[in-house]
């Protein structure tokens, strides 16, 4: 897909979905990204972090999938995991609401940062539908080819794995999750945690406890949703 050798798909994901990157629409996407970069556009996240969600959570390690829309269009925010920001960056409001629900649901205190890598390393795939964006232009790379790739990733997971939990927050994620067989997986739906919609049912949804209950029923270790303090993070 790309001429940049720094961008590589994690081996287990490459084995399952790597062929998709050779499709003409993905080559067109690669050309588009190069053109935008040549035109001076600031693209987030940085190239080596575009596939960070796959790097952090290999195919066979996935237990839970959280779907986002596209990366934060602000410098230093996007690093390849949906809803997550690097340590030291102000916690986005949607993530603040996620923390509020975690505390109400499981008594987990809000973290002093927005870095969700510890979740990803336990098997929570934090996947955006669109993997790149431009500075100050939310949605700038929608409709350029990423959606087909991430749809394929979700479809492949749903087909080849069993007993996963899919957390679909908001209409966009719910539409993207229509391919998931609810007889083989647990699909939990709620409004988006954005301040514009969280009060319409995200707050109070109980998804974190429901996720762990389902994993326990399947003989899987629950997710420890607590995040270590910022000073203990390894980035």
Structure tokens at 154: 């979700």
Tell me, yes or no, if 4 is annotated catalytic.
no
Catalytic option among 25, 55, 60, 70? 70
Cβ(64)–Cβ(123) below 8 Å:
yes
Question: 117 has which bridge partners?
Answer: none
Radius of gyration of the chain, Cα coordinates, nearest whole angstrom: 17
CA 68 to CA 95: how far, in whole Å? 11
CA 212 to CA 64: how far, in whole Å? 10
Place of tokens 């647990």: 186
Nearest by Cα to 44 from 214, 143, 36: 36
Distances (CA, A) of 44 to 6, 37, 55, 92, 103: 15, 11, 17, 16, 30
CA 126 to CA 115: how far, in whole Å? 12
CA 24 to CA 80: how far, in whole Å? 24
Instruction: Give catalytic residues, as residue numbers.
Output: 70
């Amino acid at each position: 897909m790309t001429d940049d050798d720094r961008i590589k798909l994690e081996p287990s994901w490459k084995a399952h979905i790597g062929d998709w990157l050779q499709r003409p629409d993905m080559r067109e996407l690669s050309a588009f990204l190069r053109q935008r970069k040549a035109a001076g556009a600031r693209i987030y996240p940085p190239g080596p972090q575009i596939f960070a969600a796959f790097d952090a959570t290999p195919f066979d390690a996935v237990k839970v999938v959280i779907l986002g829309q596209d990366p934060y269009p602000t410098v230093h925010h996007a690093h390849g995991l949906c809803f997550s920001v690097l340590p030291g960056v102000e916690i986005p409001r949607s993530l603040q609401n996620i923390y509020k629900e975690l505390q109400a649901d499981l008594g987990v205190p809000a973290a002093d940062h927005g870095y969700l890598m510890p979740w990803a390393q336990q098997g929570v795939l934090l996947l955006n539908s669109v993997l790149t964006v431009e500075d100050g232009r939310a949605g700038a790379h929608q409709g350029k080819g990423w959606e087909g790739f991430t749809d394929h990733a979700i479809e492949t997971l749903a087909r080849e794995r069993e007993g996963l939990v899919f957390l679909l927050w908001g209409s966009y994620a719910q539409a993207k999750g229509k391919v998931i067989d609810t007889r083989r997986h647990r699909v939990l739906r709620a409004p988006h945690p954005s301040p514009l919609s969280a009060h319409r049912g995200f707050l109070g949804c109980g998804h974190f406890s429901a996720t762990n209950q389902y994993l326990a029923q399947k003989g899987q270790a629950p997710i420890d949703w607590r995040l270590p303090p910022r000073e203990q993070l390894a980035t």
